[in-house]
């Protein structure tokens, strides 16, 4: 039975995450929101899985930066 490879974070999504974190640190919420909306679905799945493995979730991670 073939297994499905785990979702991957694209290079573009990784750059978006970096830019989102920078925007949040600078208080630029609109820029951060635009970055969140630019991330593709497969990368979102990969991000969520990695956060879950660390016993976290995206809303909590973003709140800790605000």
Q: Are 43 and 10 in contact (CB under 8 A)?
A: yes
Q: Supply the mean pLDDT for the chain.
A: 90
The answer to whether position 17 is within a domain reads: yes
Hey, what are 19's tokens?
Answer: 């830019």
Name residues whose C-beta falls within 8 Å of residue 42's C-beta, 6 or more positions apart in sequence: 7, 8, 10
A 10 A CB-CB count for 5 gives: 6
Q: For the chain, what is the domain count?
A: 1
The answer to whether position 40 is within a domain reads: yes
DSSP helix/strand/coil, 9: coil
The answer to whether position 4 is within a domain reads: no
Output the pLDDT for position 12.
Answer: 98
Cα–Cα nearest to 41, from 2, 12, 4, 3: 12
Residues in the chain predicted with pLDDT less than 50, given as ranges, are none
DSSP helix/strand/coil, 14: helix
Range(s) of the domain holding residue 18 = 11-65
């Amino acid at each position: 039975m073939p297994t499905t490879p785990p979702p991957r974070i694209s290079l573009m999504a990784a750059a978006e995450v970096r830019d989102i974190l920078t925007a949040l640190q600078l208080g630029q919420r609109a820029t951060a929101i635009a970055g969140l909306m630019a991330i593709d679905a497969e990368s979102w799945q990969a991000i969520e899985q990695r956060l879950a493995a660390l016993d976290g979730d995206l809303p909590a991670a973003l709140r800790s930066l605000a």
